[in-house]
Amino acid sequence: MTGWWWGRVPVHQRIAFLAMAAFFLAAPAVIYPVFLMKVMCFALFASAFNLLLGYVGLLSFGHAMFLGMAGYTAAHAAKVWGLTPELAILAGTAVSCALGFLSGLIAIRRQGIYFAMITLALAQMVYFFCVQVPFTHGEDGIQAVPRGRLFGLIDLTDVGAMYATVFVIFISGFLLIYRIIHSPFGQVLKAIRENEARAKSVGYDTDRYKLLAYVLSAALSGLAGATNAMVFQLAALNAVHWTMSGEVVLMTLVGGLGTVFGPVVGALVVLAMENYLAQLGAWVTIAQGVIFVVCVLTFRRGIVGELGRFLKKSL
């Protein structure tokens, strides 16, 4: 954390980062820890999604496939193969990475709304795959996944240990995404977002950059999905369903497209709302729809985007 690149992070972003880390360290004292672990998993998921939408300008409507497939893989690896949790999570991440490469090869052939429709269709294909193959156990999902012992040593059935593990995974993933965005590679991605033809004309092979960004986003989404499956000891169909793809779009939009901290705030807000409205059934869907409409019509910068504009800082 110290050393050469922490020094280059602007002061306000350092403060925001420390505030975020402090929040997730202190909050278990007052908020139900399992809910916070879910927030961290989805914050990582939304940040990975934002890497693609906010920094390359590619709207994927199929990110549930990475979250879900990684969850299934990790759950299967831990339960059936008896792998330790870190290896199970790694396996899930690897599968999403591979899936990202394959689907990316197809999806990046079109831009804009076609890209959204293609990723949605590919994710629906993965959904049907998950409904049909036996290892996912269809409607039941993979239940009672053992959390096991981290590195064979630390017992993760202990809430504190599990929380610390999720925290470390979330922070590492978040910092990796931050690093990607601010690397020379990230600058090229932003150039593609602003004007792809121009980026191409100055000699960048934009398809390769887009594919790499897509694969990174897929792998990090997989990391989030695998961790989430270990927390809830469950991998189920709802994680691969298209509504999940919509939910991550909503989180990113609410928090702020193309902001570093926006997806984290968005995940917290959207999940808190869902938690609050959970007993009301269809109202969750209606509320999500209303938020979508309101955000698109009047609040396109999102919470963190508006805050950043108010403070005249990029967050």
- Chain positions contacting other proteins, by CB under 8 A: 59, 105-106, 109-110, 112-114, 116-118, 120-122, 124-125, 128-129, 131-132, 242, 246, 249, 253, 281-286, 288-293, 295-297, 300
For CA atoms 13, 14, 17, 18, the dihedral sign is: negative
- When the beta carbons of 113 and 168 are compared against other proteins, the nearer one is 113
CB of 7 to other proteins, least distance (A): 36
Q: Which is nearer to other proteins, 25 or 286 (CB)?
A: 286
Residue whose token pair is 């399992």: 34
**Nearest approach, Cβ of 93 to other proteins (angstroms)?**
24
CB of 107 to other proteins, least distance (A): 8
Where does 149-281 have alpha helices with state H?
159-181, 184-194, 196-201, 206-232, 242-255, 262-277
Our CB check for other proteins shows the closer of 72 and 232 to be 72
Kindly state the smallest distance separating residue 116's Cβ from other proteins, in Å.
Answer: 6
Query: Which residues contact residue 256 at a Cβ distance below 8 angstroms, ignoring those fewer than 6 apart?
Result: 262, 263, 265, 266, 301, 302, 303, 304, 305, 306, 307, 308, 315
Residue 197: exposure state from Cβ atoms within 10 A (0-12, 13-18, ≥19): exposed
Of 199 and 223, CB closest to other proteins: 199
Backbone angles phi, psi at 80, to 5 degrees: -90, -45
39, 5, 307, 313: which is closest to 175 by C-alpha? 5
CB of 242 to other proteins, least distance (A): 7
Q: Which is nearer to other proteins, 168 or 280 (by Cβ)?
A: 280
| Euclidean distance between CA atoms 223 and 91, whole angstroms | 9
How far apart are alpha carbons 84 and 89 in whole angstroms? 9
Q: CB-wise, 107 or 156, nearer to other proteins?
A: 107
CB of 82 to other proteins, least distance (A): 30
